[in-house]
Amino acid sequence: MDMPFPCDVLGGSLNDGSKAASELELFAIESYAKEVDDRLDKELLKKLILDHAEAARSLETALSALSVSEARLKEANRIALLGYWDFDYRQQTRHWSESMYEILEADHSEPPSLDLLLKKIHPDDRGMFLEMRKSMAKKDKDAAMVRFRLLMDDGRVKWVSLIFRTETDRDGRPLLSKGTIQDITKIKMAEDKLEEYSKHLEVMVEEKVREISESQMATIFALVKLSESRDDDTGAHIERTAAFCRLLASKAMDHPDYSDKIDEKFVETIYKASPLHDIGKVGIPDSILLKPGKLTEEEFAHMKQHVIIGYRTIAEIEKQYKNNEFLRMGMEICRYHHEKWNGSGYPEGISGEDIPLSARIMAIADIYDALRSKRVYKEAYSHEKSRDIIVSYRGTHLDPVLVDLFVGSEKDSERLFDELS
């Protein structure tokens, strides 16, 4: 609303020379200014009151929403059995959430303290917790987790998971540790039951595998013995060579040249696969296989085919059982156990470490047993003579390291031969 200026109301001018007029004009101006100030103050006050009321309503809405959020968070923490805590190193003050008190089953009136927490921790876990607490002041950036037990007043045991993170200053001094504590008792019980079931299942699987393995070995030995039944002099050759292979492989497992190539699985696999080494002899005529004298060049060429026959037989089976370690090693042994270290063997004439390790081990076992055994073309040799012949093959026919290992365990080989003959 526009207000008339005082001069207009008086109908005069500020330039009027009379003193009375000047005082009257001054009074009118002051009165006008006061009235304007009063009106402005009322308008401003009204606006301030309205703004304050609007701000109060907004604050009330925000506080209400915050209260709902806090209530929901508390409920979520209660359901999840999750508590929050922090420790200020500078102020030496602690804060625990309500949920943490509930997890510890502690009186809410008691101030949070290390003593109160230690009182609740299982005696057997307190030492571990205190060691972890020492490292807590050194942690930064990455969160750490530890599990321990609580012992309740009534004797119940709770499992909890404590996750924490510590903030440090530029010099590495701890400023604030904070984290969560969660009751994981039900989770731990489920884990324990699962672990118990897994162990039980593992035992059952091992037992079943053992039964299958024993059945497989019985079948293998029966089939191989059937193929060797044509030669009465071979006797327990397959059992002995299998035992020799396992012995030599176990010795080689501890040697630096072979420790990265041989493990327990290799040792057991070569024991199971070695009986297949001469399975190809089923394709060799009796006139050659059982000939008492020296073979002719043509007969020997035919005899050498047993390694190819055996290899191809197993290879056909391997097509149906891909990546089967037993069959793969059986193929290696069949094909290459007559190869020689210097390359003068058959069927391919490969040498040195190009010969598969399983075949190099089989070669020594096969030669030792053949030397010790009576055959249609020779009498049985003594252990000492057989050993000397093998030593003479060191570095020419046979792997020199494996020969040394054989000599180092010759008493075991001699004992096995006597026990299995």
pLDDT, tens only, 225-241: 655 555 555 558 888 99
- What band does 3 get if pLDDT is binned at 50, 70 and 90? very low
Q: Which of 151, 168, 183 represents a domain boundary (last residue)?
A: 183
- What band does 174 get if pLDDT is binned at 50, 70 and 90? confident
Domains: count for the chain: 3
Do 164 and 58 share a domain, yes or no? no
Do 28 and 85 share a domain, yes or no? no
Q: Which of 76, 98, 122 represents a domain boundary (last residue)?
A: 76
CB of 249 closer than 8 Å to CB of 361: yes
Lowest mean pLDDT among 196-210, 287-301, 352-366: 196-210
Q: How many CB atoms lie within 10 A of CB 178?
A: 16
Do 86 and 57 share a domain, yes or no? no
The reply to whether 196 falls in a domain is no
**Between 73 and 239, residue with greater pLDDT:** 239
- What band does 7 get if pLDDT is binned at 50, 70 and 90? very low
Sort strands 157-168 and 144-151 into parallel, antiparallel or unpaired: antiparallel
Q: How far is CA 238 from CA 217, 226, 277, 354, 421, in A?
A: 11, 11, 9, 25, 11
**pLDDT, tens digit, 9 for 90 and up, residues 102-152:** 999 999 899 999 899 999 999 999 998 888 887 776 655 567 888 999 999
C-alpha 403/C-alpha 412 separation (Å) is 14
Number of continuous H segments (helices) and E segments (strands) in the chain? 16, 5
- What band does 14 get if pLDDT is binned at 50, 70 and 90? very low
The reply to whether 221 falls in a domain is no
Q: What is the mean pLDDT of the chain?
A: 82
Q: Looking at residue 145, which CATH number applies to its domain?
A: 3.30.450.20
Do 64 and 151 share a domain, yes or no? no
Lowest mean pLDDT among 61-70, 246-255, 278-287, 344-353: 61-70
Domain that holds residue 135: 81-183
Q: Which of 165, 183, 201 represents a domain boundary (last residue)?
A: 183
Instruction: Using the predicted structure, report yes or no on whether residue 51 has a pLDDT greater than 80.
Output: no
Do 241 and 374 share a domain, yes or no? yes
Backbone CA torsion sign across 383, 384, 385, 387:
positive
C-alpha 417/C-alpha 237 separation (Å) is 9
Q: What is the mean predicted confidence (pLDDT) over 61-76?
A: 59
Instruction: Using the predicted structure, report yes or no on whether residue 154 has a pLDDT greater than 90.
Output: yes
- What band does 12 get if pLDDT is binned at 50, 70 and 90? very low
C-alpha 295/C-alpha 292 separation (Å) is 9
Of 176, 93, 174, which is closest to residue 137 (Cα–Cα)?
Answer: 174
Do 272 and 395 share a domain, yes or no? yes
**Between 278 and 38, residue with greater pLDDT:** 278
**Predicted pLDDT of residue 409:** 95
Q: Specify the pTM.
A: 0.53
Q: Which of 75-79, 253-257, 322-326 has the highest mean pLDDT?
A: 253-257
